[in-house]
Structure 1
Amino acid sequence: MDRLSSLTAFLRSAESGSFTDAARQLGLTPSGVAKAIGRLEARIGVRLFHRNTRSISLTPEGEQFFGRSKKILEQLAAAEDELSQSLVKPHGRLRVSFPLSGMRSMPEMSRFMNQFPDVELDLDFSDRLVDIVEEGFDVAVRTGDIRDSTLMTRVLGSFGHNIVGTEAYFELHGLPTRPSDLRLHRCLYHRYPSTGRLSPWKLVDDDQTDFHVPAFATASTLEPLLHLTLEGTGISYLPSYLISTLIEEHRLVTVLDRFTNDIGKFRANTNRH
């Protein structure tokens, strides 16, 4: 037995007044408990028990050792419970990068904070590519596929896209009935800030070929496009999570739904190491 096991055997024997009862509690033999306590006494140089053929009792030194030993094991058990609870209950600082459109996930963040009050959230909102390791992020939530093999990714959900505009806009410019009609419309594009490329409107015409839509204006984030669309300046190709409420409120109208062919994914990206 190691020292902790010997100490446990001593306490069980002192509490029960019997090596046999202590052995039963510990799943050992009485002789094994007696030998462990004998080694403990030899190590500390003090006799802990009075022994006879029928019972055992603590010596004065054993009484003193019992009080100290019991307190040590209670503190050890409390430390184990505390550590176990800390592993079960999330706590500490969590630094998360969201795209700018992630502002709309604040209700979920509020529920998270109420559920895990010991977690300190540090939220960053940006559409740029972030370096998770260098910038100290725990998680980066983004849409689309990742190309960095050092990252682990988990799909959080999916979303579609819609071409939207206001009723006033379509009354003025007409309602497109097929993708080729968009050449006559003011199409507002999202431009990726990291590459400068335009995010394509993924439309499929009746002949099943991708269709390119000319740009009337571009913006590096989605929020300005949504604002311009709501003002009736043009029409936009926007993710459903950004516009679903506005569609339900009849502030925006969708067109060409049967020609849209784009399912995006929310991904939580973390460092693999």
Structure 2
Amino acid sequence: MDRFETMRLFVRIVERRSFTLAASDLDLPRSTATQAIKRLETRLGVRLLQRTTRHVSPTLDGEAYHRRCVAILADIEDAEAAFVDARPTGMLRVDMHGTLARTFVLPALPEFLARYPGLRVHLGEGDRWVDLVREGVDCVLRVGDLHDSSMVGRRLAMLEEVTCASPDYLARHGTPQSLADLDGHVAIGFLSTATGSIIPLEFMEAGGLRQVTLPSVVSVAGAETNTALARLGLGLTQVPRYHVAADLAAGRLVEVLPDLPPRPSPVSLLYPQSRQLSPRVRVFIDWVSETFRARAGDGVRMS
């Protein structure tokens, strides 16, 4: 293992807080990783890592060396990426919501892998907040406003949102024709992953954006459950149009107040500020931007 490979290993251990996870990420035996760091510490004459049975953390010298390694490795990746024939290789770890992945990303993924045969892709699925550095994730694809200042975000597209409910719910509560008609209605409470609070319904009208908080019988944190409960007639909900396009077409859900739509939701790709944009992430951003652009008009607006 040469010096640059050892630097990459050391940086990964600091990020993952684990020899085992870092070795797995880099396709190395754990024993190889352990011996490489021992040789590195011997060569430098300092202890870089504090080790316990459950946790690995950098010493003060380790933190200083980590900062230098990140800068050096970023310069190397930039230099290599400057050549036309340089092709990204290795494992790309991406996290995204499952419905977003199945609708926009997965159908085009074979083309991406054919274009970059040196890449392998791990797709994580969920709505939860992800610690990209600690969990070894390269980037995340998220829907909604960005609040985490530690991340660099690139907006890819805007998703049209729709207010809807089941025919059974509307038969029992009536179909509102104005915001005033929402009195007496209930909504499925969708919890924000950032605040833990129920997100109010939004309506764009001539006077600007109006937010309405309706009572909820049921509250949820998952988008799939939210839509399933709407089909069961448990309240009004607001979701991206693509998510319920089949339900609307089949009549399982009905659009409500179409002239007062919610704000469209941004789709963004995020990666840590502490990491230089790697060739793997760079080509994924370009490709996924193409993928959303190809779906423009299908409930998707380009930002």
Q: TM-score, normalised by structure 2?
A: 0.56
**1:140 & 1:131 partners in 2: Cα distance?**
10
Shift of 1:121: 1.1
Aligned residues: percent identity?
24
Shift of 1:206: 6.8
**Contact 1:100 / 1:221 at 8 angstroms: preserved in 2?**
no
The equivalent residue for 1:170 is 170
Shift of 1:86: 6.7
Q: Which amino acid aligns with 2:176?
A: P
1:112-191 correspondence runs (5 A) = 112-191=112-191
**2:211 & 2:272 partners in 1: Cα distance?**
37
The equivalent residue for 1:87 is 86
Q: Any unmatched runs of 5+ in structure 1? A: 1-83
Q: Any unmatched runs of 5+ in structure 2? A: 1-82, 276-303
**Contact 1:189 / 1:237 at 8 angstroms: preserved in 2?**
no
1:198 aligns with 2:198: yes
**Contact 1:205 / 1:211 at 8 angstroms: preserved in 2?**
no
**Contact 1:188 / 1:225 at 8 angstroms: preserved in 2?**
yes
Q: Which amino acid aligns with 2:171?
A: E
The equivalent residue for 2:270 is 269
Q: Are the structure 2 counterparts of residues 134 and 125 from structure 1 closer, same or farther at C-alpha, using a change threshold of 3 Å?
A: same
Instruction: Give per-residue Cα distances to partners, 1:148-181, cap 9 Å, x unaligned.
Output: 3342211111112111112232223211111232
The worse-fitting range, judged by mean Cα deviation, of 119-128 and 192-201 is: 192-201
The equivalent residue for 1:75 is none
**2:101 & 2:110 partners in 1: Cα distance?**
11
**Contact 1:140 / 1:268 at 8 angstroms: preserved in 2?**
yes
1:193-232 correspondence runs (5 A) = 193-204=193-204, 208=208, 210-216=210-216, 217-232=218-233
**Contact 2:188 / 2:237 at 8 angstroms: preserved in 1?**
yes
The worse-fitting range, judged by mean Cα deviation, of 163-172 and 90-99 is: 163-172
**1:209 & 1:176 partners in 2: Cα distance?**
18
The equivalent residue for 1:71 is none
Shift of 1:212: 1.6
Q: Aligned match of 2:96 in 95, 98, 104?
A: 98
Shift of 1:230: 1.4
**1:221 & 1:113 partners in 2: Cα distance?**
29
The worse-fitting range, judged by mean Cα deviation, of 238-247 and 214-223 is: 238-247
The worse-fitting range, judged by mean Cα deviation, of 131-140 and 248-257 is: 248-257
Shift of 1:108: 3.4
1:238 aligns with 2:239: yes
How many pairs are equivalent?
190
Q: Which amino acid aligns with 1:136?
A: G
1:255 aligns with 2:256: yes
**2:109 & 2:250 partners in 1: Cα distance?**
24
Which structure's relative contact order is higher, taking Cα pairs within 8 Å and 6+ residues apart? 2
Shift of 1:100: 4.2
Q: Which amino acid aligns with 1:159?
A: L
**Contact 1:185 / 1:234 at 8 angstroms: preserved in 2?**
yes
**1:147 & 1:187 partners in 2: Cα distance?**
25
Question: Which protein has the larger Cα radius of gyration, Structure 1 or Structure 2?
Answer: 1
Q: TM-score, normalised by structure 1?
A: 0.61
Instruction: Give per-residue Cα distances to partners, 1:197-251, cap 9 Å, x unaligned.
Output: 1122112467656242313221011111100111223221111221123223333
Matched residue SS, 1:202: strand
Matched residue SS, 2:224: helix
Q: Are the structure 2 counterparts of residues 150 and 168 from structure 1 closer, same or farther at C-alpha, using a change threshold of 3 Å?
A: closer
Matched residue SS, 2:201: coil
